[in-house]
Amino acid sequence: MTEDEFDAFYTAAFPRLTGQLAAFTGDHGEAQDVVQEAFVRAWDRRANFLADEAPEAWIRTVATRLAVSRWRRAKRWLELVRRIPPPEYTPGPGPDHTALVAALRQLPKAQRLAIVLHHLCDLSVEQVASETGAPVGTVKARLARGRLALAKHLTVDETGAAVEAADPVRKEGGLVG
């Protein structure tokens, strides 16, 4: 089969085969994928393809087998996932993390972003500048101001754990319980 003959065969047979495989799989996208894969395999054999005298049947058989293989693979994966039990207990964030997040929320967005990128994501000042589009000097200023503001919002208790500093203004307003 020449390339032109194969192209004509593809154009005529692809929609029909996709419809047939969609009825088999129940998923039009999956049907398109397996029919396309079958045509790719047929392309490699196009020189001898007419010798089979039933090229559409060959494509349909290959596509059906591919669909079944994919279904079996998905079924095995699902069985494997079901065998692995979820962890019984997932610890929540510790008091240090909670206090840090609460303190970070009180910073202006630009300072908070600079602090998070530099100290939590381990980016250099130059990388933070590149990512935020701010000059290096501005990033350094945001980091310095952000650290000062964080120090005001965080205290360390007798065990050495970070805790959110009491904010008398917020307590008077009834926001902290």
C-alpha to C-alpha distance for 125 and 118, rounded to whole angstroms? 7
* Burial per residue of 98-136, b for 16 or more beta-carbon CB atoms within 10 angstroms, e otherwise: ebbeebbebbeebbbbbbebbeeeebebeebbeebebee
In the prediction, which pLDDT does 169 show?
Answer: 41
**Is 166's pLDDT higher than 70?**
no
C-alpha to C-alpha distance for 122 and 143, rounded to whole angstroms? 13
In the prediction, which pLDDT does 92 show?
Answer: 80
Q: What are the phi and psi torsion angles at 94 (to 5°)? A: -75, 170
Provide the β-strand partners of residue 162.
156
Q: What is the mean pLDDT of residues 136-158?
A: 87
| 3-state secondary structure (DSSP) of residue 96 | helix
Q: What is the mean pLDDT of residues 53-77?
A: 89
Q: What is the mean pLDDT of residues 78-83?
A: 83
Tell me, yes or no, if the pTM score tops 0.75: no
C-alpha to C-alpha distance for 51 and 53, rounded to whole angstroms? 5
113 — pLDDT class (breaks 50, 70, 90): very high
Residue 140, C-beta contacts closer than 8 angstroms, at least 6 positions apart:
125
Average pLDDT, the chain: 83
**Is 81's pLDDT higher than 50?**
yes
Q: pLDDT of 3-42, one tens digit each?
A: 888 888 899 999 999 999 999 888 899 999 999 999 998 8
34 within 8 A of 27, measured Cβ to Cβ: no
